[in-house]
Amino acid sequence: MSDQHEHWQRTYRTHPAMYGEQPSESAVYAADLFREIRAVEVLELGSGHGRDAIYLARRGFRVTATDFSAVALAQLCEGAEAAGMGGRVSTRELDVRQPIPLPYRSVDAVYAHMLLCMNLSTQELRDLVAEIRRVLRPGGAFVYTVRNTDDAHFGAGTALGDDIYEHGGFAVHFFSEALVDTLAAGWELRDRHSFEEGELPRRLWRVTQLLPPH
């Protein structure tokens, strides 16, 4: 993922706050769900420059925001301070192919918008979801969004194997229904919601998984 790391570092340097300040629709949904389960501690994976992390903090959660781009995290910290949310958001630089640097059962909810569909193999995704399960408390929620195999870019660009295609410098793992089901093994798969976002438009799934309470 080293080439993708530099690509994202350069992208955030060139286009600071590239996704704007408004939260994604998925973050609004996740915040409502996290309130429903009485979450307090939230982990965001792939937080980018922080529009969703700051929104979640505004909704009353304590947020640990992670990304593998130090440039993005610096922008996130600046944005959180400007929004008066610096005390509710902490950041950690993290390559999700490595263990999550949090203790066992230390968070109530995990949120990842467009992170799992990066240049991660199916085995790396399995390992990541196992790590998410480790840090989640029983009854916790995991909400993630991914581009899926109905997306217009699926099959376009350079094939890297494992349903991963690089197009315009960005490598994307397009999710099939089977992959969603694989990653939900041992969880309650509450919802796989289809929606569109951005140009083309991109076709995505928002997946909600709940960890059994015991």
In order of start, what are the domains of the chain with their CATH numbers? Answer: 2-210 (3.40.50.150)
Instruction: Report, as ranges of residue numbers, the positions in the chain whose pLDDT lies below 50.
Output: 1-2
E strands in the chain = 41-45, 62-67, 89-93, 107-113, 136-147, 158-161, 164-167, 170-173, 188-197, 202-210
Q: What is the pLDDT of residues 102-139, one digit of tens each?
A: 999 999 999 999 999 999 999 999 999 999 999 999 99
Q: Can you give the pLDDT at residue 56?
A: 98
Q: Can you give the pLDDT at residue 10?
A: 60
Q: Can you give the pLDDT at residue 2?
A: 41
Contact 116, 127 (CB under 8 A): no
Q: Can you give the pLDDT at residue 201?
A: 87
Q: Can you give the pLDDT at residue 8?
A: 53
Which DSSP string corresponds to 2-37? HHHHHHHHHHHHHSTTTT-SSPPHHHHHHHHHHHHT
- The single-letter code of the amino acid at 98 is Q
Q: What is the pLDDT of residues 29-48, one digit of tens each?
A: 999 999 999 999 999 999 99
Sign of the alpha-carbon torsion through 148, 209, 191, 195: negative
Q: Can you give the pLDDT at residue 167?
A: 87
